[in-house]
Every structure is written in structure tokens, then in C-alpha cells.
Structure 1
Amino acid sequence: MTSEITLFVNPTAGRGRGAHAAQPAAHALREAGFAVRTVVGSEAPDALARAREAVAGGTGALIAVGGDGMVSLALQAVAGTGTPLGVVAVGTGNDFARASGLPVRAPAEAGRVIARALKGGCGREIDLARVTRVPAFPGPRGAGDTPGPETGPADPAGPEADGPESVGTPQDPLAGAGERRHWFGTVLASGFDSRVNDRGNRMRHPAGRLKYDLAMLAELAALRTVPYRLTLDDGEGGEARRIVETEAVLVAVGNGSSYGGGMRICADASMTDGLLDVTVVGACSRTTLLRVFPRVYKGTHLGGVVNVPSGPRRLARTLATLSVVSAARCAFLPPPCDCTHQTPWPPAWRPDDATLTTPPSHPAVTVHRVRAVTVEARDVTAYADGEPLGALPLRAEAVPGAVRLLMGD
């Protein structure tokens, strides 16, 4: 392995922490005897092209310095190539680092962890999810319809499968002709949360997070379910395929457990089991959603959401809405807030059955554990690792050991 490694830096991550974090991380790596080269792109496509160039040139490791967005770009460059990935997590969400047990907002320590892993030849092979665009269905389907070839297994992973020619646009990395692929490490989300992001991204005023607060309230007021069709592949090569057609508020596909800065939407998902957890929040009223959110995102009810002790009905509704905004806003706002939301989820259940509803969950919440899933719905945008992927339908497939993550034993 070459002693030269590449720092892949987002200088704007964490309100400017990325630029400052690169220095202590680089110092720790140089002290360990590594030659450090820094790559900074002018924008996402340019940054990704530079990272892929470093990987193709034989860099000893690619070290992402920033938040989940920077990690997402780094994954596109290293997945399936054998080049190790290091993470110096200094963004605002840092869900990938948290799920992996890596230091968060401690760049010098993160640099030392990476250096020890490189010197010791250690690290951990972790899974990634690989997303491909599938043809949109021409009309409503029945539960008995036979899945088309688009729901079959994707081609084996490899550097040629996700080369520079497969880059779409920042708004839709899967756009364009030919086979397009995108990798994610944490969660792919669609439905209510993605509509909040879509609405907020379209709003020109007000500036900052307030527009996402307003977008979430607007979507809550206009709450509607969406007809989803999920093709669940439980076995190798697409065997044991099941089709679920359901009305849902949101569907999330988890390779990791959380998004939005610690919101555990797929609480029991593991990056080393070769499986994806698909969380479905089914049809429910606004009142039910107010009750479901705390359980889905934190594992407990929040005071004031379920039981407002007394007072006029309008006051009760107002208090409930404000509680939901406080609890759920970080899951929907890019960038996420600086709080960590570390309320523990109840003890993990990992039964052998591929479909489960965890005992504390609201009946509207169901989890499927699968090797791959095709998610179909009309007029719904998907986001993965906090970045827009474009419109459904999409297929996500777990790829075991897709990247070697530099971390402690």
C-alpha cells in the first residue's frame, strides 16, 4: 500500500468546521508517517471527479472530511474498488460516523484512528446499499402482478460499475442514459420527509432553517398517504420475492440506523448483516402521526404530544404541533441541527423472521428485513444520506463488504 493518502475535504461542512478540521487530521496522519494530499472540489461533481482520480491513481486511502454529504461522495469513489475509506466527521448530522462508532467532531482523534488502522492493516468490511433506477410502471398494478425484469438482481459490484460515466446531476445522480448506480451508507427516505425537503428547497423565503419549519407545517397540514408498491427480495438472487402494496406516509430503507442527525428511523439496521431494514409508516391521521413520530424517531413518547392535560382544544392542537416541530425538525432539515438526540431506542430485536413489528412500535409502523427492495410510488422524491436521488421508482440492494472502513478493532 502506498504511504500517500488523500484528504477529501468539504470546507463548508458544519458551518465551516470542515476547513479547520482538515488541519489536525492531516497533522495526526503526517505524524504517523503518511504523506497527505488534499483534494477540494469547487462543487459536488468536480469534487467527485477529483476523488475518483485519486482512487484510480492508487491512493492508499480516501479520507472524507466533512459531514454525511461528503461521506456520500466518497462512497461513490471507493465502493467496490478496494481503496479504504476513512471518515473525519465534522458535519452537522454525522449519521454515518455515529452508526460506525467513529469519533464525531474530534478531527485529531479521527486522524489517529485512521493512522492506526492503516499501520495495523485493520479496519472493518461494511455493507453499502446500491441504488439503481428502474422503469416506472405504466399504470396501477395489482398485488398479483408478476414483477418485471426491472426488479431482478443488479450486476455484481465493481469499480467499472460506478465509474465517472455513471454520474448524473446533483439533483438526480441516477439521471441519464444507460445503467446508473448510486451508493449509500445510512438511510434512503421517501414520502413525508422528502416532501418537506422538496418544498423547503423550492421556497426562496424565508432564509435558513425557518423555511423548512414552515415547509414541514405545510406538509403536515396537507398530510396524505401515498400508494406504495414494495418488491421485497428476501433471498439470494431475488428468490423469496414478495410484493407489498400499501398506503404509507413514508418509507425508509436503512443500511444504517439513522438520518437527520441521530433520528433512528431504522433503529435495528446493521451495516454488517448483508440486509436492509425497510421501515413503513402506514396510513394514519395527523393525530396518529403526532403520536407515531416520537416513537419512530426517538423510541419514546414526548410530553405534550400524546396527552395534553387540559385546556381548549385549539391550545392542545397548538402545543402538539409545536412539540412535533421540536422533535422532528432535525430529521427533515438540511443541514440537520447541532443537537445529538441520543435517546436510546428500546433493546434491539433481530428475529429470524424477515418481517417484524417491534413490540413498542405503533401499529402503523412495520419493518421488513430484506436483501433488496424496489420502491415504487408516483411523484415521490427519494433522498439517500441526506442527498437527493430523484424520483421513484428505485431499487436498493445490500452489497456485503462493499468498502473497508478505517476504524479501531
Structure 2
Amino acid sequence: MNVAVFVSTPAQFHFYKNIVRTLNNSGVKVYILARDYGETLDLLNETGFEYFVFSRPPKGAKRILSLPSDIHRAVSWLRNKNIDIVTGFEIYGAYTSKLLKVPYVQFYDSEPSIHKLLSIQFKLMMPATDVVLTPESFRDNLGRKHLRIASYKELAYLHPNYYKPNDDILDMLGISTGEEYAVLRFNAFDAAHDEGIAGFSSGDKIKLVKELEKHVRVFISPEGKIPKELEKYVLKVPKSRIHDVLYYAKLLVTDTQTMATEAALLGTPVVRSNKFVGPNDMSNFIELEERFGLMYNITDRNRAIEKAVEIAQTEGIKKEWRGKREKLLEKKIDMTSFMVWFLENYPESLEEFKQNPNIQYRFR
């Protein structure tokens, strides 16, 4: 069996890394196609995966202009590799699969209804998509191709079956025994679905650091530029070790999406604030806050800073959050094991799931 995997972002790399390893170990040949975006290639290089760069697009909505040439490049590279199935998160894999005349299995965790550009992208993708898998909390109904899974994309790599924290990261950070620290993650807001979305301003970032460092050490993981006076706080550890940094942190404060979920699933308190937050926010963030109590989604940046400072001063909060994490894991499945089963056994796996969706709970 030959599988093509499209990896366009760091989060997508993490989602697929254990899936690819498990498929390879079972004798499946996997071809990774990577987009040169953010830290994606850095992660692939650090972890030793072989890949083909199919896209180096411009930022934001302009990347639609490079779509035809990107898909052509992907198809040309895969054409003689006898691909049986394609999987990914985006439109690249969808149209590549159709040109190769093979099925496309997509994972998706951003409701199209939350943003006009997402809605347009999704309408373009669905005709070329055979199956779309989403978290069970997904608010939008995507029709007959839609399967809801009791998991998050982040549990493909942060489930205890795969993720084991390594406390040598504390030495790398220069953290002494008993010392507490916070991680701040700031978004570049340069993806297509980020058009018109904003988070912490430069002034907010400076205020946040000044207030937090009265109580804890502060480290910043920026996607884009940050004020010059904050550059000394930038994390200087390998990109592949960010989850250990999050696991041992006292809290994460962020205006991003994926890392907010990652920290929550690792049992670290999260304060998330950006213009997505509100009644039409993505369902996974609402579920993590309202069902599991692992995250605070706050629209007002000043209130978000106040909540972060409050958490920084709260004793024993990590123990409380670890307990919440355990309750979540009782309800969710191992996303990697499920995806491996689904891809290896497609299309029979699709029919089995349709007849009995509870089959997924085999993969706890």
C-alpha cells in the first residue's frame, strides 16, 4: 500500500508524524509532501523524515494564486508512485487525489462557518474530498461525507500512548528546582483564515511580560516579530521540544489556536485571547473551556492579562489541571491508532464506521 500525506503547517506535521511512523512499521510506503511554511520544514529536518517540498506560497490569502502550480508539482511528483490513498488537511491533497484518481481522507477541525475565507475554501474542497473527519464537538454539519471522532487532532501526538515528557528540558531552559515559568505564544496571523483576525498588540505583549515576570520566569515563542525589548525572552530550544516546554510550564498565554489546545491537553492552564473568541468560536475551544475546564477564552486583552497574572500566583494549580486532563483522556480516543486503522482498511473501514460509529472506542 502507498499513501501520500500532505503536511502544510507545524501542527499538521505533529498530527501525522506518529501515523507515518506506524504505517511505515506495518509495511506501508508513505510519501510526505510538505509546504514551506513557518517551522514545518525545521520540524521535518529535526526528526529525520524524508519529504518533497511541493509549495513555497506567498503569505495570507495571496497563496491561492500559487495553488494551481503547487498542485501540478505535487501530482507530477506522485504520478509514478502508485498511490492508493491521499490524506491531509487542505485543498492541495483534495485536488491532487482527484487528478491521481484515488480517494482523499481529510481531517478538519476549523468550522467553515466561523470565517468567510474558510467557508470558501471548504466549498472548493468538498467536491474533491471523499471523507472528512472532525472532532465530535464540531458545530457545523458537513453532510454525508462527515464523520465525527471522539478526539482532537492534537491527541494524535499528545496522547499518553505517544507523548512522554522529558524533564531535561528544564536544564535546557535554565530552570532550577521549584522555579515556575510561563510560556507566551504570539501568532503571526498570516494564514488565509487569519485575514481580519488579531491578537495581542505590541503594547499588550510588553504589559503581559512585565506583569507576569513579577511572579514567574517568562519565555516567548513567537511566530512573527515581537517588540525589540522582548527578544531576550525568546525560547532557544529545538522546535521539536516545544511540548516538553508546555508540559512543565505553569501556564500558557496565547493568541494562537493549536498551541492553546496542546497546552490544555498536557494539563497546563491556558489563557487564550484573539478575535476568534466569542459565541461563534471554534467548538474545540468551547469544549475545552466549558466541558473540561482546561482553558480560559477571553475576548478582552486586559482581562486576559489579569487572568494570566491570577493563575501565575495560584498555588497547586498544575495538580488541579492534571486531574482535569485525566478526565478528558477517559472520554477521548487515540487519534493515531484510529487513523492508521482507517487508512489501512479503507474503504471497508468507512463502511464499518458508518454502521457502528462506536467502533472508534476500540482506540482508547
State the TM-score, normalizing by the size of structure 2: 0.30
Structure number with greater CO (CA < 8 Å, separation at least 6) is 1
